Amino acid sequence: MLLEINDIHVHYGKIAALKGISLEVDEGEIVTLIGANGAGKTTTLKTISGLRPLSAGRITFDGKDISRLAGHKRVLAGIGQSPEGRGIFPGMSVADNLHMGAYARKGDLSKELAEVYELFPRLAERKGQAGGTMSGGEQQMLAIGRALMAKPKVLLLDEPSMGLAPMLVQQIFSIIEKINERGTTVLLVEQNAQQALQIAHRAYVIETGRIVKSAAAVDLLDDPEVRAAYLGGD
């Protein structure tokens, strides 16, 4: 297993946001975590990347216990995150934003940069433009591209389709598939459960801080409870 989360508990003050979450991501997979607003999806990703401390439980990555490892060391270990709300540097150019993604790595970055520009031709066209003046969809691409610059083993994606026009939503999901086909494991958090389940291999459903279901993604697409709660029912 590349990433193993074992019974983690996370609190905001006295509020328990995660009440014993366990999940696994194997090398090469796209795993999606779906759930309603406030269920704990973002908190789960932030805890994996080290932005939130856990109060109990264990996270193992690449065979090592990283539960107490500082966030920047997790990036070096191979955990890349594209956060919800993008978090790009608005005053810096697209190219400089991308370079920031690999700040901890020394040496020539031209190969990584070329790969990101190939995945996202729009970023290549706009490399000199300030990040903050890019459209919502372009900023999303930039945030994913920046995370890829660090050559992560696993890419954590928080709501990559949020706020995008339908055509761009399709585009972002097919790019995620492409990133995965090229060898990066993906843990994807999405409100857009339909699309997420279509590209994922496996899925977990989270409700108020607990995993209530896990299965192959295709099976969840047909699951009556999941259909009713997350896929608009029928």
Distance of alpha carbon 195 from alpha carbon 188, whole angstroms: 11
Q: Does 110 bind ligand ATP (CB under 6 A)?
A: no
Q: Does 54 bind ligand ATP (CB under 6 A)?
A: no
Q: How far apart are the first and last CA of the chain?
A: 36
- Shortest Cβ distance from residue 124 to ligand ATP (Å)? 31
Q: Does 21 bind ligand ATP (CB under 6 A)?
A: no
Percent helix, strand and coil across the chain, each rounded to 5? 40, 25, 35
Bridge partners (DSSP) of residue 8 are 21
Q: What is the pattern of x (binds ligand ATP, CB under 6 A) and - over residues 181-200?
A: ----------x---------
Q: Does 14 bind ligand ATP (CB under 6 A)?
A: no
- Tokens 């932030």 -> residue: 46
Q: Which is nearer to ligand ATP, 40 or 160 (CB)?
A: 40
Distance of alpha carbon 155 from alpha carbon 48, whole angstroms: 11
CA distances from 50 to 10, 43, 172, 176, 227 (A): 12, 10, 25, 23, 33
Q: Which of 2, 23, 39, 220 binds ligand ATP (CB under 6 A)?
A: 39
Residue range at the interface with ligand ATP (CB under 6 A); choices 41-49, 68-76, 180-188, 222-230:
41-49
- Tokens 């080290």 -> residue: 50
Q: Which of 3, 34, 43, 195 binds ligand ATP (CB under 6 A)?
A: 43
Find the angle CA(23)-CA(43)-CA(75) to the nearest 5 degrees.
80
Q: Does 83 bind ligand ATP (CB under 6 A)?
A: no
Number of chain residues interacting with ligand ATP (CB under 6 A): 12
- Shortest Cβ distance from residue 69 to ligand ATP (Å)? 21
Which residues are near ligand ATP by CB under 6 A?
12, 15, 17, 35, 37-43, 191
